[in-house]
Amino acid sequence: MDESFQAATEAEMIAAGRSFAARLRAGDVVALDGDLGAGKTHFCKGLVAGLGSNEEVTSPTFALVQEYQGGAWPVFHFDWYRLEDAAELQGIGWDDYLDEEGVILVEWSEKFPAMLPPATYVLAFRILPDGVRHITLSRR
């Protein structure tokens, strides 16, 4: 099921996230991997909007998880960048979130891939030499 697409601007990245939201259902987990500045949070902005929420999406780097309500389902937006080990992830209630009826977004999921459930959507973000973002979608 590998797919790929590109986004040259922030607006295109947000539009890609909005479009991707149409395929999601409650219980889905979306892993977003790539370097700093690759567009992961902008993609999340579009995805949350695509699910019908008007909440402002920000990077959860310091909060570790942000929750967005008001859409088709709640969205739980994680950032594993600052976590040192999987025990910290358990300490913030990862397993409890997996049991929720919502959509889970995980930036920097490559740090703890064993913590992702089967059938996770995996989006790999790469910055091309011309600055365009190339995103590859696969399913675990």
Place of tokens 């590859």: 136
CATH code for position 38? 3.40.50.300
Domain range for 75: 3-139
pTM over 0.85: yes
Instruction: Give the pLDDT of residue 120.
Output: 97
Q: Is the pLDDT of residue 59 over 80?
A: no
Q: How far is CA 61 from CA 51, 64, 108, in A?
A: 22, 5, 10
The backbone torsions φ and ψ at residue 103, rounded to the nearest 5 degrees and listed phi first, read: -110, 135
pLDDT tens-digit map of 85-99: 989 988 889 999 999
Beta carbons of 75 and 46 less than 8 angstroms apart: no
Total tally of structural domains belonging to the chain:
1
pLDDT tens-digit map of 11-42: 999 999 999 999 999 999 999 999 888 999 99
What's the helix, strand, coil split of the chain in %, to 5? Answer: 30, 25, 45
